[in-house]
Amino acid sequence: MKIINGGVCAAKGFKANGIHCGIRKNHSKKDLALIVSDVPATAAAVYTQNLVKGAPLTVTKEHISDGIAQAVICNSGNANTCNANGIEIAEAMSALVERYTGVAAKNVVVASTGVIGQPLNLKPIENGMAELAAGLSADNGAAAAQAIMTTDTTAKEVAVEFTVSGKTCRMGGIAKGSGMIHPNMATMLVFITTDAAISREMLQKALSQDITNTFNMLSIDGDTSTNDMVTVLANGLAGNPEITAEGEDFNSFMQALNTITVQLCRMIAGDGEGATKLLECIATGADKEETAKIAAKSVICSSLLKAAMFGADANWGRVLCAIGYSGADVDVAKIGVSFRSAKGTVEVCRNGAGVPFSEEEAKEILLQNEIEILISLGDGPFGAHAWGCDLTYDYVKINGDYRT
Mean pLDDT on 191-213 = 97
14-38 pLDDT tens trace: 999 999 999 998 889 999 999 999 9
Phi/psi at 168 (5° precision): -75, 125
pLDDT at residue 232 is higher than 70: yes
| Predicted pLDDT of residue 49 | 79
376-404 pLDDT tens trace: 999 999 999 999 999 888 888 877 876 66
| Predicted pLDDT of residue 223 | 65
Rounded Cα distance between 307 and 85, Å, is: 41
Query: Is residue 330 domain-shared with residue 292, that is, in the same domain?
Result: yes
188, burial (CB in 10 Å: exposed 0-12, middle 13-18, buried 19+): buried
Q: Which position has the higher pLDDT, 187 or 189?
A: 189
Q: How confident is the model at residue 227 (pLDDT cuts 50, 70, 90)?
A: confident
SS3 20: coil
Residues 6+ apart with CB under 8 A from 89: 55, 80, 83, 120, 122
Rounded Cα distance between 188 and 149, Å, is: 10
Residues 6+ apart with CB under 8 A from 14: 8, 35, 36, 37, 38, 138, 141, 172, 193, 195, 233, 235
Domain boundary (231, 253, 270) is at 270
- We report the CATH number of the domain holding residue 307 as 3.10.20.340
Q: How confident is the model at residue 273 (pLDDT cuts 50, 70, 90)?
A: confident
Query: Is residue 203 domain-shared with residue 330, that is, in the same domain?
Result: no
Query: Is residue 293 domain-shared with residue 252, that is, in the same domain?
Result: no
293-337 pLDDT tens trace: 999 999 999 999 999 999 999 999 999 999 999 999 999 999 999
| Predicted pLDDT of residue 90 | 97
Q: Which of 53, 322, 297 is nearest to 182 (CA)?
A: 297
Query: Is residue 32 domain-shared with residue 160, that is, in the same domain?
Result: yes
pLDDT at residue 180 is higher than 60: no
Using alpha carbons only, what angle is made at residue 220 by residues 115 and 321, rounded to the nearest 5 degrees? 140
Query: Is residue 223 domain-shared with residue 316, that is, in the same domain?
Result: no
- Between the alpha carbon of residue 253 and those of residues 37, 94, 161, 170, 199, the distances in Å are 19, 29, 10, 10, 12
- We report the CATH number of the domain holding residue 191 as 3.60.70.12
Residue 187 annotated as catalytic = yes
| Predicted pLDDT of residue 176 | 92
Q: Which of 52, 386, 377, 50 is nearest to 212 (CA)?
A: 386
Domain boundary (244, 270, 296) is at 270
Q: How confident is the model at residue 186 (pLDDT cuts 50, 70, 90)?
A: very low
CA-CA-CA-CA dihedral for 94, 99, 101, 103, to nearest 10: 50
Q: pLDDT > 90: what percent of the chain?
A: 83
Query: Is residue 259 domain-shared with residue 310, that is, in the same domain?
Result: no
* 3: amino acid identity, one letter: I
Strands, E, within 66-122: which ranges?
68-78, 108-115
Mean pLDDT on 343-348 = 98
Query: Is residue 251 domain-shared with residue 292, that is, in the same domain?
Result: no
Query: Is residue 87 domain-shared with residue 236, that is, in the same domain?
Result: yes
Catalytic residue, from 48, 150, 151, 187: name it. Answer: 187
Give the count of domains, the chain.
Answer: 2
Q: Which of 259, 263, 234, 94 is nearest to 175 (CA)?
A: 263
Counted residue by residue, the chain has a size of 404
Q: Which position has the higher pLDDT, 222 or 346?
A: 346
Query: Is residue 258 domain-shared with residue 299, that is, in the same domain?
Result: no
Query: Is residue 24 domain-shared with residue 141, that is, in the same domain?
Result: yes
Query: Is residue 378 domain-shared with residue 233, that is, in the same domain?
Result: no
Domain limits for position 305: 278-400
Query: Is residue 148 domain-shared with residue 175, that is, in the same domain?
Result: yes
pLDDT at residue 258 is higher than 80: yes
Q: How confident is the model at residue 228 (pLDDT cuts 50, 70, 90)?
A: confident
Domain boundary (270, 292, 311) is at 270
